[in-house]
Amino acid sequence: MTAPHWLSAAEIAQAYANRTLSPTELMTALLARIEALDPQLNAFIRLDAEAAMRAARDAEADIAAGRHRGPLHGIPVGIKDIIDVAGLPTTCHSQILVDNVAKADAAVVQKLRQAGAIVIGKLSTHEFAIGGPSFDLPFPPARNPWNRDHHPGGSSSGSGAGVAAGLFPLALGTDTGGSVRNPASACGIVGLKPTYGLVSRRGVFPLSFTLDHVGPLTRTVADNALLLDAIAGYDPADPGSAASPARQFGRLLDHGVRGLRIGFVRHFHERDLPAHLDVAAALDEAERTLRDAGADIRPVTLPTLNEFAGINRVILCSEAWSIHAPWLRQRPGDYGQLARRRLLPGAFMTAGDYVGAQRRRTQVIAAVEDALHDVDVLMCASSMDPSSRLDDPEETARTYPRQARTPFNVTGHPAVAMMAGLARTGLPVSVQFVGRYFDEATVLRVAAAYEQAAGWHTRKPPIG
C-alpha cells in the first residue's frame, strides 16, 4: 500500500470505504510527518492537532455507524492563513493581526466541513498575500520541499509546500495575481484559480476586491476537481459571487483531448518575458505530449504580458490601499518591509489611473474572449523560471514578476498550473491551461490528460 501521506484524497476515500485505512490512522501518520518535517518547511502557522484528531475520531465513528458526511469525509485540509477558521487566529502572517481570532468560519471552510473535511491547521502565506518570502515577520517563511534553500512560491506558500511534502492531501489558497498557481508551479503540484465569482470569498481577508479568488491546491487533477466541487457555489454575502450552475468539475477527466483545440500563447514566454531554457523546453515537450494525445494545437496571440501586468498593478494597488491605508498611516512599522513597499504605491494612484485601468481591462477581457471563441482552452507558461533561493532577495525580486498568471486575474478566466518537468537544478517547472468562464470541467479535462500522459505527478520531492 502507498504510504498514507502520499495517498490522494480520492484514494483515501476508497481506503476508508474498503476499511484498509481509518481517519485516525491517517491523522496519526500525518501528524507524525508534520512533527518530523514541518520544522524544516514552516508550512504551518498554527497546527490544530487536537481538534483535528477529535474530528478524525468523529469521522471514524460515523464510518463505523454507516453515516457518510460527504465526498471529503475524514479527509484533512490545510487552510491559508488569510481564510477564517472559527476559534483560530487569522494573522495574515503579519504583526498587524497577530491576535486576530476568527469568530466564524469563512464560507469555504463551512462548505469543507459540510463535505466532511477535517481542518488540520492554518498555513503560511506572504504578509497580507502581497509581501514576498520575508524574515522580518512574526513567523518564518515557508520553504520548498524540493530544495529547502528555495522559496515555494506564494503567496499561498504553506499550502503549496505542505501539499507537495505530503503533510496533508488538500489545501486552500488565494489568488490575486497568481498566488495559487505560483506555489503549484514552484512545488510541482496542481493549483487552480477558478472563474471569478465561482467560489465565495466571505471570511477571506481581501487584497483586491475585483481580482481576489479562492482556489484548491492538490497533488492530482482529480483531487483538484473534488475540492472545487466542495467549495464552489453562489454566496449572496459576497458581492462578487456569481450564480452559476457549474458543478461536477471532474465529469470530463477521462475524456482525453482528442479533437480539442488548444491555443498555445507562445509569445508570453518567447517574446514578452523570455523564459529560462528549462521552462521553454518543458513547454515545448508539453505541446508535443498533447499533440500526440490527439489535441489540435494552434498559435494564439493575446495582449502582451506587460499590458496585463500594468492593469493588474494599478487595480491591485488602488484597491489594496483602500484596505490598508489606516494601518499604513498609524502602524507602518508593524508591516514587514516587502509588504509595506508593495502596498505604498497605492497612495499615489489617482482615480483617473484606476478608471483607466478598468477601461483597458474590458478591452483585454474581450481579446481573451475572442481567442476562446476559436479554441477550447489556452496553454501558456506559468512561471518563467524555477524558484529562487530564499537567501537571494535580488534574484527573487527579479524572477517573481516573470510569470504569465496575472492576465487571468485581470480577465477572471479559470486557469490551472501544474508540473511540467524538472529543471536541471531539480526544481519543478510548470505549464498553465486556461478556459472559458465557468468551464473548469474542460480546463481540468486537458490538465488530466496531460497529467496521465506526462506522468510528472508521480514524482515526489526528496524529503522524508
State the catalytic residues: 80, 155, 179
Tell me if residue 119 falls in helix, strand or coil.
strand
Beginning with the edge strand found earlier in the chain, give each strand of the sheet holding 190-193 in spatial order: 44-47, 118-123, 76-80, 170-175, 213-218, 190-193, 415-422, 428-435, 377-380, 261-264, 296-299
What letter does residue 411 receive in the DSSP assignment?
Answer: H
Neighbours of 436 (CB within 10 A): 19
Extract the C-alpha cell encoding 80. 491559508
What is the residue whose three cell numbers read 474542460? 442
> Long-range contacts made by residues 9-12, C-beta under 8 angstroms, separation at least 24?
9/72, 9/75, 9/169, 9/170, 9/218, 9/223, 9/226, 9/227, 10/220, 10/222, 10/223, 10/226, 12/74, 12/75, 12/169
Q: How far is CA 358 from CA 151, 315, 351, in A?
A: 32, 7, 11
Interior/surface letters 387-420, b for 16+ CB within 10 angstroms, e for the rest: bbebeebeebeebbebbbbbbbbbbbbbbbbbbb
Give the bridge partners for 170, in sequence order: 77, 218
State the Cα–Cα distance between residues 129 and 409, nearest whole angstrom: 14
- Collapsing DSSP states into helix, strand and coil, what is residue 150? strand
Euclidean distance between CA atoms 269 and 288, whole angstroms: 17
Task: Count CB atoms within 10 A of the CB of residue 456.
Answer: 21
Alpha helices (H) along 198-336: 221-231, 267, 277-292, 305-330
Task: Name every residue whose Cβ is closer than 8 Å to that of residue 32 and which is 6 or more positions away in sequence.
Answer: none
